Amino acid sequence: MAHLFLAVLVYQLVSTIRYRLKAKGIHHDWSHIVRIMNTQKAATVTMQNKNDQKIYIRKYSKPETKAREIYDALGYKYQPWIRKSLLPEKQSRKTVGTDYMEITS
């Protein structure tokens, strides 16, 4: 039953997006809209600092002209999120025995 609910939900979402785009003069089919929007990419870089803590940086590419037109028609920002860096909280490490490390905050 859940798959039926999701199918109806997705159908309504696609229909709403296409309706709003047609109102702004963009008459593409859904596969063409997806192809245009797939030109914008997101990349996540993962690295470790000197303390062996992982740092994640997420950045988005600039959208192509056609993707910007779609964003404008829908009233969305070109970069849905700002550059995000997930840095670890300050932690101190101390050795407990020889087999593992204990992290204390």
- How do the domains of the chain map onto residue ranges? 2-88
CA distance 72 to 12: 21
**For residue 65, what pLDDT is reported?**
95
C-alpha radius of gyration, the chain, whole number: 22
pTM of this prediction exceeds 0.95:
no
- Alpha-carbon torsion 22, 24, 27, 33, what sign? negative
Query: What is the SS3 assignment for 40?
Result: coil
Per-residue pLDDT of the chain (105 residues; tens, 9 = 90+): 889 999 999 999 999 999 999 999 999 999 999 999 999 998 888 888 888 888 888 888 899 999 999 999 999 988 766 666 666 665 444 444 444 344 443
pLDDT recorded at residue 32: 97
- Cα 25 from chain centre: 27
